Amino acid sequence: MKKIGILTGGGDAPGLNAVLRAAVKIAINQFGCDVFGIKNGFEGFLDPDGIVLLDLAAVRGILPQGGTILGAANRGNPFARKVILDGKEVIEDVSDQVVARFNELEFEALIVVGGDGTLKIGLELYEKGVPVIGVPKTIDNDVNGTEVTFGFDTALNIATEAIDRLHTTAESHHRVMILELMGRDAGFITLHAGVAGGADVILIPEIPFRFESVCEKIQSRVENGRLFSIIVVSEGAYPEGEQQVFRRAGDEVFVARLGGIGQVVGKFVEEVCGTEARVTVLGHIQRGGTPTAFDRWLATRYGASAVRAAAAGRFGRMVSLSDAKIVDVLLKDVLKIPKRVDVNGDAVTTARGLGISFGD
């Protein structure tokens, strides 16, 4: 193995640089192989200046850095790319150009670091003959086939710290503090942070909630002398029989952008439960900054294993964490269904046992 490519697709997540650093070091030190970075997701293949050599100097000092030195693009799907033709916007499949450039560059493998969207593109390119290996990245932890994605632990820690900070104001001012967290259609960040931060109500997309039930929980706490409450709500959570709340609709290129359910819950708490409420939206704070030690450790192991999988010719697969070991699994199996919180699993059962309400 002499030459491989690596790219980071979709939104950034803490630990991307740790993956790049490990992949480059293992490729050079153990296989004498050059690594080339593709800039801005798959877009780099379509850009004459989009491919850069990643030598040891290029990855020096990046382990604790958030973001990605390669840049990311969450609209860079080569199978559905927005282009201007005769002054009009059209959606084009330019995947053949990506495959042609990959072959021209004489790469022997392509390591694709991303969430479900990016991994799906990776699988489609694999089906067109590109030797792809996936690495599961996302703060949402919604990728199947692995116990955890890198990026999740950092987001979880940031979200938990935010709950701790909101607690002091909630208690001092006898208020309901509502924290809206990311996660798209999966409630992992909200569930884990809610339990770790001692929230009173956890609202996640997997368990549609009733406003009345949220009010009952707040009121029962007041009756027991607890004059404040903490509600954590996932951006994808929604009331029973209603729809998720979006900031922007999606199209062929962009996925719809969730956001706003925190304000909806806050309004109800003030107007119907009759309790003073404040809403905080944590947003991209969850994705930025330095990765936790766990994410650096996991991302490093993923990056190293991806290179080893490439050397062993294990293509069409994704490196994953299973029983504390790194293994690899078929990408097509991983992408069959997205990972969601098990509503009957021990995490939800434990939270209920602790007296946390899911609003159902």
Catalytically active residues are 140
**Shortest gap between Cβ of 263 and ligand F6P (angstroms)?**
16
Q: How far apart are alpha carbons 78 and 85 in whole angstroms?
A: 16
Of the two residues 50 and 114, which places its CB atom closer to ligand F6P in the complex?
A: 114
Verify binding: residue 184, ligand F6P, rule CB under 6 A.
Answer: yes
**For the window 238-257, what string marks contact with ligand F6P as x by the rule CB under 6 A?**
-------------------x
Please, are residues 302 and 150 in contact by the beta-carbon 8 Å criterion? yes
Can residue 76 be called a binding residue for ligand F6P (CB under 6 A)?
no
Which residue in the set 43, 140, 206, 295 belongs to the binding site for ligand F6P (CB under 6 A)? Answer: 140
Instruction: Compute the least distance from the CB of residue 93 to ligand F6P, in Å.
Output: 23
Check residue 182 for interaction with ligand F6P (CB under 6 A): yes
Q: Which is nearer to ligand F6P, 189 or 265 (CB)?
A: 189
Binds ligand F6P (CB under 6 A): choice among 4, 7, 9, 11? 11
Q: Residues 50, 71, 76, 115: which binds ligand F6P (CB under 6 A)? A: 115
88: which strand partners?
Answer: 85
> Which residues face 8 on adjacent strands?
113
- Measured from the CB of residue 59, what is the shortest distance to ligand F6P in angstroms? 24
Shortest Cβ distance from residue 184 to ligand F6P (Å)?
Answer: 4
Residue 183: alpha-carbon gap to chain centroid: 7
- Give dist(CA 170, CA 197) in Å, integer: 13
Using CB under 6 A as the criterion, what x/- string covers residues 22-61 for binding ligand F6P? Answer: ----------------------------------------
Asked if 280 contacts 179 with a C-beta cutoff of 8 angstroms, the reply is yes
Beta carbons of 132 and 122 less than 8 angstroms apart: yes
Q: How is residue 332 written in tokens?
A: 């097509």
Q: Does 258 bind ligand F6P (CB under 6 A)?
A: yes
Task: List the Cα angle 223/227/231 in 5-degree steps.
Answer: 105
Residue among 287, 301, 308, 339 that touches ligand F6P (CB under 6 A): 287
Q: CA 133 to CA 146: how far, in whole Å?
A: 14
**Cβ at position 227, least distance to ligand F6P in Å:** 32
The identity of residue 201, as a single letter, is: V
Query: Does 74 participate in binding ligand F6P (rule CB under 6 A)?
Result: yes
Assign 144 to helix, strand or coil: coil
Q: List the one residue out of 77, 102, 73 whose CA is nearest residue 92.
A: 77
Report d(CA 261, CA 269) in Å as an integer: 12
Using CB under 6 A as the criterion, which residues of the chain lie in contact with ligand F6P when the complex forms?
A: 11, 74, 115, 138-140, 182-184, 235, 257-258, 287
